[in-house]
Amino acid sequence: MKLLSLGKAEFFKQKSRSGACEKADSGQTAPLLTLPYELIEKIIAHLVLDYVPPSKSNKNSKALRYLYRDLFAISRTCKVLRNAVPDDALYRTVILNDKYQALKFYKSILKPHVHHIIKHIRTVCVNRPMDDSPSNVSLGNAGFSYSTRSSTSKPWDELLLKIIGLIPYLQFVILDQLPTSFSLASSSTETSRAFQLVLQRPGPVGVSLIPESGWTLTLAPSALWPLGNINHLHLSNIIINDSSLSRPLVSRITMLELTGCRIRCSPNRLAEYFSYVTSLTLDNLREDSEIAWARCFPRLQHLTLGLVGRVPRNNEFVPSRLIPAEYNYAYSSGNDEDASETVSLANSASILEYELPRIAELSELTVYAPPTCIIPRDRPQYRKEYDIFAHIYQLHHLRALNAIIVCGEESKAAIWRTTTHWTTFLERRAIPDNVDFTVKSYYDDRTLYHRACPVPAS
C-alpha cells in the first residue's frame, strides 16, 4: 500500500527501477549495496538530518516534500534499502498535493491491513487545498488553476477532518499555499461525523496555516475551531482582526507562532481568545511596535523574537550574503507596504527595555539577532543602536536569556567560538547575574557561550 499517491508515469518509472535493482541483486550488485548494512542505515539517517535539522522548524513543507520524495525513491529500489529505511521515518509525514491524493489516502487508511502504518504518521501536509465552490479559480505565481466540484465528491473540509480524526498519533497539520478564498468549515461541519471524529481524538494537534507565496490571508472565523483540540498554532502572513476571533475555540492553544502577521484586533479580544498561551514567537515583524502585543498574553512565560529584519538590507555592515537564504527571502520580499527599509534595531531594543519588565510571568526570552549585535565596542563598525544586549538590563525576573546569532555559512568563521571572547564582549553589558545566558549559532546550532545562574548557598 502506497500512502502517498504517485502519477502513473512516475509509478512505472519507479517499478522499472525496482526491477533493475532486483537484477542487480542476483548478479550485478549496486555500489551502495556493497556497504555494510549498518553504514547504509547511517547514510539514510544523515539524509533525514540534512533535510530537517533538529534545531530548525519542521514547518517547511518544501523541504519535507524533497525529503520524503527521496526516501520513497530509496525504499522502492530494492528490499535491502527498503528495510534500511525505518517505518517511522518513511511514514512520519504524509504530503497530499491535491484532492485526488487526499481522497485516495482517506480510502487507504480505512483498510484494516494498513493500521500498523497509520500509527507512524505524525504530520499531514496539504498543499493548495481548494474550496468547493461550483467553479473555483485560484491565482498563483505561475498562472492560475481551475477546478470544478462534482456532486458526488467529498467537500474539502469534510475530507480533511476525517483524515485528521482517523490518525491516532497525529501531531501536526500543515495547510500550505492556501488560496485567499479558503475557508475550512461549511454550514454543516459542526454537526457532521467528521467534526465529531476530530473531537474524539486522544490528544491535541499543532496547526500551521500558510497562504500562497506573495499573498496575505485574513484569518476566517471558521478557520480554526473545526480542527478540534489545538495546542500549537503557527500562522504565516495572516491578518488577524476582530472578526477572525469572533468564533470561540474548542481548545486551549498554549504555543503561538506568528510569522509576518498583522494584528488588527483589539488587545482585549486577543487576550481573551489566546488566554492560555504560555509560549509566543514573533518573527518577521512588520513594525517595531508589534513587540508590545506580547503584553496581551496574561500567561506568557516563553517569548521568542526574530529581530533579523530590524536591520536595513542596504546597511554596509550586514550584506545579504551573511544572512541565511530563508531570512533574506522573508525579510526582503518587498510585498509589504508597512515594512520600512529604514527601521532600526534600536527601536526594537528600546521597546524591549520598556515592555518586557511589564510581563510578570515571563521567565525565558529567546532573541534571533543578526551578527551586527555582537560587534565589540572598540571596533569602528560598532553601533550603539544595534547593541541589543546593552538594552536588556531590567529583566531581573527572567530565568533564562537565549541569543541566537543568525549568520550564513560565509560568516560562520567570524562568530566567536571561545568563552574568553564572549566574556570580554559582555563584561560591560549589564545582563543580570541571576539570569542563565546562552548564545548559539543559527547556522550549526552550536552553543557559543553559556553562563549559568549561580546556585544560591543552602
* Domains in the chain: boundaries: 1-89, 91-132+152-277, 300-458
Q: Which comes out higher in pLDDT, residue 174 or 79?
A: 174
pTM of the model: 0.74
pLDDT value of residue 278: 96
Provide the pLDDT confidence category of residue 331 given band limits of 50, 70 and 90: very low
Is the confidence at residue 322, as pLDDT, over 60? no
Provide the pLDDT confidence category of residue 7 given band limits of 50, 70 and 90: very low
Is the confidence at residue 147, as pLDDT, over 80? no
336-366 residue pLDDT tens: 444 443 345 666 767 777 777 778 888 898 9
Which whole number is the average pLDDT over 402-410?
Answer: 71
Q: 91-132+152-277 architecture in CATH?
A: Alpha-Beta Horseshoe (3.80)
pLDDT value of residue 161: 83
Provide the pLDDT confidence category of residue 186 given band limits of 50, 70 and 90: low
Is the confidence at residue 234, as pLDDT, over 90? yes
CA dist 361 and 304 (Å) reads 14
Q: Which comes out higher in pLDDT, residue 124 or 343?
A: 124
- Kindly report which listed range (23-32, 164-173, 234-243, 358-367) carries the lowest average pLDDT score: 23-32
DSSP for 237-303, written as a single string: SEEEETTTTSSPPSS---EEEEES-EEES-HHHHHHHTTT--EEEEES-SSGGGGGGGGG-TT--EE
As a whole number, the mean pLDDT across the chain is 71
- Kindly report which listed range (5-9, 75-79, 213-217) carries the lowest average pLDDT score: 5-9
Q: Which comes out higher in pLDDT, residue 168 or 182?
A: 168
pLDDT value of residue 208: 93
CA 127 to chain centre: 15
- Kindly report which listed range (94-108, 153-167, 261-275, 328-342) carries the lowest average pLDDT score: 328-342
pLDDT value of residue 82: 67
pLDDT value of residue 166: 86
pLDDT value of residue 445: 74
Is the confidence at residue 222, as pLDDT, over 80? no
Provide the pLDDT confidence category of residue 21 given band limits of 50, 70 and 90: very low
Which whole number is the average pLDDT over 405-431?
Answer: 65
pLDDT value of residue 301: 94
- Kindly report which listed range (18-32, 86-100, 104-118, 124-138) carries the lowest average pLDDT score: 18-32
242-298 residue pLDDT tens: 999 988 877 889 999 998 888 899 889 999 999 999 999 998 776 767 788 888 898
Place of cell 497530499: 96
pLDDT value of residue 251: 82
CA dist 405 and 417 (Å) reads 12
pLDDT value of residue 346: 63
3-state secondary structure the chain: CCCCCCCHHHHHHHHHHHHHHHHHHHCCCCHHHHCCHHHHHHHHHHHHHHHCCCCCCCCCHHHHHHHHHHHHHHHCCCHHHHHHCCHHHHCCEEEECCHHHHHHHHHHHCCHHHHHHHCCCCEEEEECCCCCCCEEEEEECCEEEEEECCCCCCCHHHHHHHHHHHCCCCCEEEEEEECCCCCCCCCCHHHCHHHHHHHCCCCCEEEEEEECCCCCEECCCCCCHHHCCEEEEEEECEEEECCCCCCCCCCCCCEEEEECCEEECCHHHHHHHCCCCCEEEEECCCCHHHHHHHHHCCCCCEEEEECHHHCCCCCCCCCHHHCCHHHHHHHCCCCCCCCCCCCCHHHHHHHHHHHHHHCCCCCEEEEEECHHHHCCCCCCCCCHHHCHHHHCCCCCCCCEEEEEECCCHHHHHHCCCCHHHHHHHHCCCCCCCCCEEEEEECCCCCEEEEECCCCCCC
Q: Which DSSP symbol is given to 412?
A: G
Amino acid identity for residue 260 in this structure: G
CB neighbours of residue 214 within 10 Å: 12
| Alpha-carbon dihedral sign for residues 78, 84, 88, 94 | negative
pLDDT value of residue 396: 65
The C-alpha cell at 271 is 487576550
